[in-house]
């Protein structure tokens, strides 16, 4: 097969074949998050602990002090903000005494603990967050220009920038898995949740972790697509065809 016959068609075929399972995984993960969160938001935990109280209990168990716990708006918007060292919990978590609320709140507290103990991956993630934000915005424009202007240099630069974004998502995985592990171990060790409740919280957190895996895979797929286009253009040129 001559070089130049390898073009956009092959790149697109590979992309679309891989796109389907990745898309299905993303949809599955999202459905799992919504389904499990809704399900376990209806289950009151036996100790009657609210999300805010659970977050504080996890912090206490790890001897972490000085972390704020505040309310934020939205659904599943819970997060820990290292800039003001505050755990933000949404309405259905903050004051809710459910299994889901305790699981999510404990996970966010797990992030606060990661920062407090200087967990390696979270440090790396913080160090590259600014670069990632820039790369994310710049890569989109540069990749588009590279495609439109048929510039291999720009395409390559866009690929590198997009690679930074994918790397960030890759580093996010251990951070997320570790926060959930800390949360569940603490909830178990402190007997905050009983076994059956713990399995509910675990389902909620596992589903959430899966969305991060799906996000990474879809970025890697996008990256692969640009690499294939880049290679097909290089080959076309070498084959004497533009």
| Residues taking part in catalysis | 108
State the minimum distance, in angstroms, from the CB of residue 176 to Zn ion: 5
Return the closest-CA partner of residue 40 out of 134, 112, 104: 104
Nearer to Zn ion, 178 or 232 (CB): 178
Interface pattern 211-240 for Zn ion (x via CB under 5 A): ------------------------------
State the minimum distance, in angstroms, from the CB of residue 92 to Zn ion: 16
Interface pattern 121-160 for Zn ion (x via CB under 5 A): ----------------------------------------
State the minimum distance, in angstroms, from the CB of residue 179 to Zn ion: 5
Q: Select the span of 63-71, 112-120, 136-144, 169-177 touching Zn ion (CB under 5 A).
A: 169-177
**How many CB atoms sit inside 10 A of residue 196's CB?**
10
Number of residues that bind Zn ion (CB under 5 A): 2
| Span 69-88, contacts to Zn ion by CB under 5 A | none
HSE, side-chain direction, 13 A CA sphere, residue 166: 15
State the minimum distance, in angstroms, from the CB of residue 53 to Zn ion: 19
Nearer to Zn ion, 54 or 179 (CB): 179
| Span 171-190, contacts to Zn ion by CB under 5 A | 176, 179
Q: Select the span of 68-76, 141-149, 170-178, 192-200 touching Zn ion (CB under 5 A).
A: 170-178
User: CA 97, CA 199: separation in Å to the nearest integer?
Assistant: 16
Calculate the CA dihedral of residues 58, 62, 63, 69 and round it to 10 degrees: -30
Nearer to Zn ion, 143 or 184 (CB): 184
Which residues make Cβ contacts (< 8 Å) with residue 75, sequence separation at least 6?
A: 90, 91, 92
Nearer to Zn ion, 56 or 176 (CB): 176
State the minimum distance, in angstroms, from the CB of residue 227 to Zn ion: 30
**How many CB atoms sit inside 10 A of residue 232's CB?**
20
Please, which residues bridge with residue 87 across strands?
69, 80
User: CA 86, CA 49: separation in Å to the nearest integer?
Assistant: 19
Nearer to Zn ion, 51 or 146 (CB): 51
* E-only strand ranges, the chain: 68-72, 79-81, 86-90
Helix runs in 87-151, H state only? 91-94, 99-117, 120-148
- Please give the residue ranges that form the binding site for Zn ion (CB under 5 A): 176, 179
């Amino acid at each position: 097969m001559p070089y130049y016959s390898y073009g956009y068609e092959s790149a697109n075929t590979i992309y679309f074949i891989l796109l389907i399972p990745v898309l299905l995984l993303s949809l599955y993960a999202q459905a799992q998050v919504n389904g499990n969160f809704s399900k376990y938001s209806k289950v009151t935990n036996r100790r009657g602990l609210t999300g805010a109280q659970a977050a504080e209990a996890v912090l206490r168990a790890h001897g972490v002090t000085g972390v704020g716990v505040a309310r934020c708006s939205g659904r599943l918007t819970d997060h820990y903000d290292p800039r003001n060292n505050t755990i933000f919990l949404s309405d259905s978590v903050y004051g809710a005494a459910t299994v889901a609320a305790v699981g999510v709140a404990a996970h966010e507290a797990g992030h606060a603990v990661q920062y407090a103990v200087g967990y390696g991956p979270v440090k790396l993630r913080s160090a590259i967050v600014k670069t990632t934000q820039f790369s994310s915005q710049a890569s989109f424009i540069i990749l588009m220009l590279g495609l439109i202007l048929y510039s291999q240099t720009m395409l390559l630069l866009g690929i590198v920038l997009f690679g930074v974004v994918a790397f960030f998502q890759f580093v996010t995985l251990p951070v997320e898995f570790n926060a959930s592990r800390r949360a569940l171990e603490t909830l178990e060790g402190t007997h905050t949740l009983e076994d059956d409740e713990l399995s509910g919280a675990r389902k909620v957190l596992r589903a959430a972790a899966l969305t991060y895996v799906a996000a990474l895979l879809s970025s890697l797929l996008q990256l692969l697509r640009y690499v294939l286009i880049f290679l097909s253009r290089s080959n076309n040129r070498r084959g004497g065809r533009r």
